Amino acid sequence: MFGKKSQTSSVGLQARIQKIAATPSAVLAKPAFGKRQPRALSFKPGTLTFLGGERLDVVVKNLNAAGARVEFIRGTRLPERVLLIEPLQGIRKWAHVTWQTWGVAGLEFVKSENAND
C-alpha cells in the first residue's frame, strides 16, 4: 500500500496525459448550453412587476435584445413570468424566468408584450 507504485498504473496515467495533450483544445471545450447573444454589461436600476401587482426593485446587470440578468436583495422566489421595467433605457418587457439562485435571476424576453401568451 505504501510501497513503490506499480509501473502499470503510472504507464496508464502517462498514456492518458499524452492523449489529452495531443487533443486540440477546440475538441476539449464543451459547447455552451444553448446559443445566446452576448450581453452588454450594465448596472442600472429596474423593477420587476409580478402578475399579481407586487413589485421588486432590482439591478439590471446584463442586457441584450433576448434577455437580461437581474440581481436583487430580497430572498424571494420569482414567478414564472415577470414584467421588467428599466426606466433609463425605456425598457418595458415581459420575460420568463429561466433560472434563479438566491438574489440573482436570468430572464428571457417574450416576443409579445401581451402577458397572456
Helices assigned H by DSSP within the chain:
7-22, 25-28
Percent of the chain with pLDDT over 90: 32
Q: Give residue 2's pLDDT.
A: 64
Query: What is the topology classification, in CATH, of domain 40-109?
Result: Thrombin, subunit H (2.40.10)
Residue 108's pLDDT band (boundaries 50, 70, 90)? very high
- 53 CB neighbour count, 10 Å cutoff: 6
What is the per-residue pLDDT across 2-58, written as a single tens digit (0 to 9) for each? Answer: 666 555 567 777 887 777 777 665 443 444 455 556 666 678 899 999 988 899 999
- In degrees and rounded to multiples of 5, residue 66 shows phi and psi of -95, -20
pLDDT at residue 55, as a whole number: 92
Comparing CA positions, the residue from 82, 104, 99, 100 lying closest to residue 91 is 82
Provide the residue ranges of all domains of the chain, joining segments of one domain with +: 40-109
Full-model pTM? 0.61
Q: Which of 44, 95, 52, 49 is nearest to 71 (CA)?
A: 44
